[in-house]
Structure 1
Amino acid sequence: MNWPVHGSNPQYLFTALNMPLPDHMIDFSANINPLGPPPILKEKWGELFSLIADYPDPKGQKFKKKLAEKENLSERQILIGNGGAELISLIGRMLAGKRVMIVQPAFSEYEEACRINGCTIDYHQLNPDKWELNVEALAEKLHYTDALFLCNPCNPTGVYYSKSQLIELMNECQKQNCLFIMDEAFYDFLYEYESMVPYIYEFSNLLIIRSMTKMFAIPGLRLGYVMANQAIIDHLASFQPHWSINALALQAGEWCLESESYVKEIRELIDRERERLFNFYSQKELMLSPSRVNFYLLKDPLVQNQLPLFQFLLSKGIIPRHTMNFPGLEGAWLRFAIKGPKENDKLMGAIEEWRSRP
C-alpha cells in the first residue's frame, strides 16, 4: 500500500485506504500548535499585500539580524530556508556520497534527502520501552560515519534528551570527525529547554535545524533556519536557489519572533492538555511514549496491530498519524498531536468507544 509520507492533507490517506472522506474531521496528524498563528499576523496581514509586488530579500537580512540577536550568533552563522524541509534537502546535497547515521525513529525526510544524494545510511534504533539515548552504544557505531542525525525533541516520540547527553555525544562525534546534525523543530514547546546554540562556537561539527512552522502555525508560509559555523553555512548556501524564501514568510517571521507571550500561552495549554490526556490513557491502560512536547505515540496493547484502531478512529473523523514509514515502528504505534480541549475531548470519547466495543 502507498502510505502518505507526511501528516496533514488527510484526503490522501482516505484515498489510500479506500475509505470515504467524513463530512467532519479533526486532524491530529500534523504537529502544529492548536491555537493557530499569533494574533499579530491577523492584525497586520493587510500590510503584507504590498510585499508581493517586489522580489524578496534573497538573504533575508532583517529577519536574520533578529535571529542572530536572539541567539547571540553572527548573521554568518545562520541560513534561512523555505521551511525545515528545504534545509534538510540542502544538508542532503552537502552530504552527497557520505555515510550517514540516523537515530531512529525519526522524521523520514532525513533519510529521503540522503538517499537521493547517494549516501550510505545506517540506523541506531532506540528501544521502545523508554526510548533512551544510549550514548556509549551509539558512539561505538560512529567509526567511519560522516554525519549523525538526531531529532531533539524527537519526532515522533516527543522524548527530550538532556544537555549532558548531547554534549557527550557532540564530543564523541568530534573525536570521530563526524558532523552532528540536531533537528530542534519542536524545542520551543519546552519550558525546560537547555539551549545548545552556544556550543556552535565550541564544536565546529554542530549543526542545528529549527522550524518556525510548528510553534507559530505557519506551515503554509514555510520558514525555518539552520545554525552552524560559517564554513558549514557557506557550503549549504551554495546549494540554495535565489529567492528561496518569500517576502510574506520573512515578514511574518519577524513578527513571530516578537510573540513571546503567545509562546508562553501555547506552552501552558499544551502542558495542561498533555497531562489531562495522559491521565485518561493511563486509566485505560494504553501505552504512551514519555513525550514532553505537543505530540506523542500511543498504542493499545490489547491489539497486536494498530491498524484496526487506526481505521476505527478514521471512521469517526479522528485523523491520527500512521507510523508505517518510521523505521522501528512500522505501524506498531499511532502518533497524535495535542490539540485544544474540545478536540481532545472528542478523541478521548472515540477511544472510550473503541475500548467499550463488545
Structure 2
Amino acid sequence: MTSRDDRELLRHHGDIDAEPGLLDFAVNVRLDRPPPWLHARLTGALDRLGHYPSGADEAAARSAVAARHGRPAEDVLLLAGAAECFALLPSLRPRLAAVVHPSFTEPEFALRSAGVPITRVPLAPEDGYRLRPEAVPDEADMVVLGNPTNPTSVLHPAETIRLLARPGRVLVVDEAFADAVPGEPESLAASRLPGVLVVRSLTKMWGLPGLRAGYALAEPELLAELAAHRPHWPLGTLALEAITACCGSGALAESEEAATRIAAHREVFAADLDALADVHVHGPAAAPFLLLRIAGGERVREELRGGGIAVRRGDTFPGLDTDHVRVSVRAPEENSMLVEALRGILGPGRSSTEYPVKGATA
C-alpha cells in the first residue's frame, strides 16, 4: 500500500512551488498567456458556448491532429490535457504496471489509486538516467515512461523504446514535451505500433494550462477501451478550437522556431549553472528544463524562494532526493537572474564536491 504521505508526494506539481509574485522556474509552461493569434481563435469561439460542443468541432480537431502526425483520424483520442489520459489508464485493466522513474508521477498515482499493482523501474544516475529495456519485468502488461523525461530532460532513442513493445502489453509514452525538441527526432507519434499509446499535451508550448488540451494516439481498439467510461462532451468548445488551431501549419512552424530557440537558451543556461559552486547539471538535456543537483538543495530552494524565485523541488520524483531541483529554461535575462541568485547563495565557482553522475555538462 502507498501511504498518504507518498500519495501526496506523487501529486506534487510545479504549480505548488510557484506562487504569484515569484519569478517562476518551477512550472514548465513556455508562455504565461496564449499568443495573439490563438487568443483571437479562442475569443472567436466564445459565441458558440451557448451550445454543446458539436460533432463538427470534434471532427475538425481530430482531423487536425491526424494530419499533423500523418495518421488516420480514427487513431486520435482528444483529451482534456495529457493528465486525463493518465486518469483513464486503469480502464485498460493492467495486471502489473511498470513505471519508469524518475518521471512524471501522475500515471503512477492514477494506477495506484485504482488498485493496480505497480513496479517501479529506477533509472540510475551513473547511467545518465538512460532507459534500459532489460530492467522492465517481462510480466508487466503495461509500461509507462516519458520522452523526453520529466524531470531528467533525457531524450530516449525511439529504437530503444520500441524494444519495450510486445503482444499483450500496452506501452504508454508520455510525449508532453516532445514539441519542445527541434524536429521531434525520437517521437513515436507518427507510427502506428501495436499496443503503443502516445500521449501529447498542448498546454506547455501554447500557454494553455488553464484550458486543458491534449490528445492520445494509438490503434482505434485501444483508444475505444481507454475511453469506454468517459462522459459525453469530455472536451469543451474552446479546448476543441485550441487543438485545431495548434495543429495547423502556422502553429507547427512557430513551435519549431520556439523549440530551436529554447535549445539554444538551454545550452547557455546549463553551462552557466554548471560553473557554479556545488551545482551539477544533468546532461545531455533535451527538454525545456534542467535537472540540477545542488549540495544543500532544500536550503537553497528556501533561500531562492525568500529572494523571489521559485524552482521545482526534486524529491517528490521517485529516485531523486532533496538535493535535486528542476528549473525551467526561460529567456536569457531571466536565466541570468537565477544564475546570479545561486551565485550569491553558493559562491562564484566550481567546488571540489563531485557527484558521480556521468554525462553531466562540463
TM-score class, shorter-chain normalisation, is 0.7 to 0.9
Q: Output the aligned Cα RMSD.
A: 2.1
Give 1:106 shift.
1.0
* Residue identity matched to 2:323: A
- CA 1:100–1:340: 2 relative to 1, 3 Å: same
Deviations along 1:293-350, one digit per CA (max 9) or x if unpaired, are: 10111112xx2x4111111111111111112321111323001111122221211111
Equivalent residue, structure 2, for 1:215: 205
Is the contact between residue 200 and residue 215 of structure 2 (CA under 8 Å) also seen in structure 1?
yes
Equivalent residue, structure 2, for 1:193: 184
Aligned length: 334
Q: 1:341-356 to 2 correspondence within 5 Å?
A: 341-356=332-347
2:292 matched to 1:294?
no
Give 1:198 shift.
4.1
* Residue identity matched to 1:288: V
Unaligned runs of 5+ in 2: 349-362
Alignment partner of 1:339 out of 316, 330, 341: 330
Alignment partner of 2:259 out of 261, 264, 267: 267
Larger displacement relative to structure 2 (204-213 or 189-198): 189-198
Deviations along 1:183-229, one digit per CA (max 9) or x if unpaired, are: 100111111423423432xx321111111111111111101111111
- CA 1:133–1:167: 2 relative to 1, 3 Å: same
Q: TM-score, normalised by structure 1?
A: 0.87
- CA 1:36–1:158: 2 relative to 1, 3 Å: farther
Measured in 2, the distance between the counterparts of 1:10 and 1:142 equals 34
2:245 matched to 1:255?
yes
Equivalent residue, structure 2, for 1:71: 69
Alignment partner of 2:138 out of 143, 151, 158: 143
Deviations along 1:237-285, one digit per CA (max 9) or x if unpaired, are: 2121111111011112211122123213311321121111111122225
Measured in 2, the distance between the counterparts of 1:256 and 1:144 equals 39
SS of match in other structure, 1:252: helix
Is the contact between residue 35 and residue 266 of structure 1 (CA under 8 Å) also seen in structure 2?
no
Give 1:132 shift.
1.6
Equivalent residue, structure 1, for 2:354: none
Equivalent residue, structure 1, for 2:171: 180
* Residue identity matched to 1:119: V
Equivalent residue, structure 1, for 2:60: 62
Unaligned runs of 5+ in 1: 12-20
* Residue identity matched to 2:293: K
Is the contact between residue 26 and residue 310 of structure 2 (CA under 8 Å) also seen in structure 1?
yes
Alignment partner of 2:275 out of 254, 273, 283: 283
Alignment partner of 1:167 out of 162, 167, 171: 162
Measured in 2, the distance between the counterparts of 1:44 and 1:216 equals 13
Is the contact between residue 213 and residue 222 of structure 1 (CA under 8 Å) also seen in structure 2?
yes
Measured in 1, the distance between the counterparts of 2:46 and 2:156 equals 42
- CA 1:345–1:242: 2 relative to 1, 3 Å: same
SS of match in other structure, 1:260: helix
Measured in 2, the distance between the counterparts of 1:133 and 1:9 equals 29
Equivalent residue, structure 2, for 1:17: none
Equivalent residue, structure 1, for 2:357: none
Give 1:86 shift.
0.9
Measured in 1, the distance between the counterparts of 2:191 and 2:38 equals 33
Measured in 1, the distance between the counterparts of 2:48 and 2:333 equals 37
Larger displacement relative to structure 2 (41-50 or 215-224): 41-50
Is the contact between residue 322 and residue 331 of structure 1 (CA under 8 Å) also seen in structure 2?
yes
Q: TM-score, normalised by structure 2?
A: 0.86
Equivalent residue, structure 2, for 1:115: 112
Measured in 2, the distance between the counterparts of 1:311 and 1:279 equals 23
Identity of aligned residues (%): 26
Q: 1:13-162 to 2 correspondence within 5 Å?
A: 24-34=21-31, 36-57=33-54, 60-95=58-93, 98-129=95-126, 130-135=128-133, 137-138=134-135, 141-162=136-157
Measured in 1, the distance between the counterparts of 2:163 and 2:345 equals 44
